[in-house]
Structure 1
């Protein structure tokens, strides 16, 4: 019976990891995919590799801590309870992935474990309070930093970087020799190459950070129960994450890369840089990093900042000789595209800054990222509290 339960537990754990791959690939590589710096398949491959590296190296420490610090009595993680916790984590994440919204794995997992702790009266409220404070503060920081950059510095940053996409592919494969060798395409400019490498590298850093923290969300209950060793758990989790990245993550890549706001390469670097910096900072403090929410709010902040960039005083009160406001003045894009006067509808040749920020999609993302952890928390609490099989 124990062996059968363990098999069920491993399958449920892999189901959770599968959904982690679906929900975290978007925030890590959505900006790069949205900027056409990498394909969805390439993003999935890099996600699988760097997630596993992070999980295998630093992640094992987080696996140990998650099962001992959030609850004052780790004995609560029986095999049956661990499977139930993992089930609610997986179902909640699946809901977010079905709607194409990358839910926070850390918030969902901590919510499910908190539901178990509340039902059993073993939740450490001090630790939970510290986590909640950082979960509130960190997305606000990401939002405002990105908004300020988008509103006041993005235009100059974009002109300085000037990483516009060339007409041809970034790389080409030289098949003249025995071994095919990738080479930079002749049409690729140097800044485009550097920018592409940068945004992909930051995505790899975020994937690594995800592995260091999110592997615990999939396997910590089982490892904490003592029924599954650390190394096999990480291997099972890493494989499932890679499968999720190649399959269900495609919708979240679209949401994070293009549905919330249009992301040229410069914007992708800003979002990834702000998000990854905050994630590393939280990880250094030992806080389960909700980098999905941080990345989402960074994208929202940058899009809002770019869409609401103020014009200068001379543009507002100037005479008839004042030049028209252009897209590069509003959002830092290509110079020379005139915008319509304030209050007029945009035309095909004069896009609106509001096109850079999509409130409807943003509202859907924010709503789902609050609903998904709530599903896991309430579901776990009610189950452990009122089902007599758990004895709470």
Structure 2
């Protein structure tokens, strides 16, 4: 019976890893894909490689500590309960991935483990409270920082970087496999600045993939490792392979959602989003908080799209509350030009984007809804199971 449960546990862990790949690839490389910098295939390759690097280097520390601080007694992590925890994590993530919305693996996993602790009376409320507070604050910070950048500073940043996403269906960075050794190939119209910007956004995506590996590998294998039946390294290899499968398959839906459906992301915007979200994630990881970079990156994209979409009014209009007043650049007199904020309205009238082009409220609402529903499914389902199903013996 023990061997059967162990095999089932491994299969469920693989299922969790598969869905982690689908949920985390979109936030990391969705901006690069949406800006037409790289293909979805290249994004999957990079995500798989850097996730594994993060998992094999820093990941073991997270695996060792995940099940020790959130609950008082680690004895509740039996093989049977761990299978159930992984089942609810994987099942809830699959719901989000199937809907094309990347949910937070950290929130989903912590929710399932916290439900086990709550059902058994072993939950460390202080630790959970600190984590939840940062989960609320961090996305708000990402949204407003990105919104301020989009509304007031985006034209200056765009002028300084002077890059645009690759036009047409051809990506800016591709791999030429015609020779013996594959080599990078760049778009015909890409200049040095565009190529540099492309490498920046790809590099930040790789950094986010690495960060994901350091924390999210624990969500897939920590419960199985806690039983002591399998060593760490084999579990990391199994989990990383499962994540790679998710990167190449179901992640295509989440990359499409974050890269194209929510907001039209040119390359400059992709760099802004990646810098903001990755900085917040690294900061949270530094202080030991399991970072929900899926939510942070999504809210940064939403904030940037909202900020750019509201650039059609001036600061003086906003201060007076004249919601119906829309002042174009060409209509401003010299005196008015001197009074307005230089960061707003610097585009020509025909270049000012429409809100519908940069910010899709319906898609945004669907994303935010699902990102809250998925962890709730995991938490509530696990709690009801551990509290009322007799076979767990709690």
CA contact (8 A) 2:37 2:166 kept: no
Map of 1:337 onto structure 2? 350
Q: TM-score, normalised by structure 2?
A: 0.90
In structure 2, the partner of 1:311 is 314
Contact 2:330–2:349 (8 Å) recurs in 1: no
Give distance in 2, aligned partners of 1:7 and 1:176.
43
For residues 173 and 377 of structure 1, what CA distance do their matches in structure 2 show? Answer: 43
Indicate how the Cα distance of structure 1 residues 293 and 332 shifts in structure 2: closer, same or farther if over 3 A, else same: farther
The alpha-carbon distance between structure 1 residues 252 and 338, as it changes in their structure 2 partners (threshold 3 A), is closer
Question: CA-to-partner distance for each residue in 1:284-340, whole Å, 9 max, x for gaps?
Answer: 1111110000001100110100001233659849996759x9xx987877x57266x
CA 38–322 in structure 1, closer or farther in 2 if over 3 Å, else same: same
Write the distance in 2 (CA, Å) between the matches of 1:375 and 1:204.
30
CA distance in 1, matches of 2:204, 2:388: 45
* Pair 1:24–1:165, CA change in 2 (3 A): closer
1:276-355 superposed matches below 5 A: 276-309=278-311, 310-311=313-314, 316=327, 322=333, 335=348, 337=350, 352-355=354-357
- CA gap of 1:179–1:380, structure 2 versus 1, over 3 A, is closer
Q: TM-score, normalised by structure 1?
A: 0.90
Q: Show CA shifts across 1:14-64 (max 9, x none).
A: 100000000000000000000001100000010100000001100110111
- Correspondence list, 1:106-121, <5 A: 106-121=106-121
Inter-partner Cα distance in structure 2 for 1:50 and 1:331:
40
SS at match of 1:337: helix
Is there any run of 5+ residues in structure 1 with no aligned partner, and where? 340-350
Specify the alignment match of 2:16 in structure 1: 16
Instruction: Indicate conservation of the 8 Å contact 1:308/1:330, yes or no.
Output: no
Question: How far apart are the structure 1 equivalents of 2:381 and 2:372?
Answer: 14
User: Cα–Cα, structure 1 residues 92 and 179, in superposed 2: closer, same or farther, change >3 Å?
Assistant: closer
**Aligned ranges 1:17-166 → 2 under 5 Å:** 17-165=17-165
Deviation at 1:179, TM superposition (A): 4.3
Match of 2:390 in 1: 388
Contact 2:146 2:307 in 1 (8 A): yes
The answer to whether the 8 A contact 1:71-1:123 is kept is yes
Deviation at 1:3, TM superposition (A): 1.4
Distance (Å, rounded) in 1 between the aligned partners of 2:345 and 2:84: 48
In 1, are the aligned partners of 2:152 and 2:344 still within 8 Å (CA)?
Answer: no
Tell whether the 8 Å contact from 1:150 to 1:304 is kept in structure 2 after alignment: yes
CA distance in 2, matches of 1:109, 1:176: 44
Q: How far, CA to CA, are the matches of 1:385 and 1:321 in structure 2?
A: 66
Query: Conserved in 2, the CA contact under 8 Å of 1:259 and 1:361?
Result: yes
Aligned residues: 377
Q: Would the aligned equivalents of 1:66 and 1:220 in 2 still touch at CA under 8 Å?
A: yes
Measured at CA, do residues 330 and 352 of structure 1 come closer, stay the same or move farther in structure 2, by a change above 3 Å? farther
Over the aligned positions, Cα root-mean-square deviation in angstroms equals 2.5
**Deviation larger for 27-36 or 220-229:** 220-229
Separation in structure 1 between the aligned mates of residue 331 and residue 5 of structure 2, nearest angstrom: 78
Distance change (3 Å), C-alpha of 1:75 and 1:40? same
- Cα 1:329–1:262 change in 2 (3 A) is farther
The whole-number CA distance in structure 2 between the counterparts of 1:58 and 1:385 is 34
Q: Give the C-alpha shift of residue 188 in structure 1.
A: 2.0
Partner of 1:230: 232
Matched, 1:6 2:6: yes
Matched with 1:189 is 191
CA positional deviation for 1:282: 0.7
Kept in 2, the 8 Å contact 1:93–1:103? The answer is: yes
1:137-186 CA deviation, whole Å, 9 max, x = no partner?
11111111101100110111111111024567635777897645445455
Cα separation, 2, equivalents of 1:21 and 1:95: 14
Q: Give how far 1:217 is off.
A: 0.6
Q: Distance in 2 between matches of 1:62 and 1:173?
A: 35
- Give the 3 Å change call, closer, same or farther, for CA 96–35 of structure 1 in structure 2: same
The 8 Å contact of residues 329 and 346 in structure 2, kept in 1 or not, is answered as no
Shift, 1:198, TM fit: 0.4
Partner of 1:359: 361
Contact 2:57 2:214 in 1 (8 A): yes
Which residue matches 1:342? Answer: none
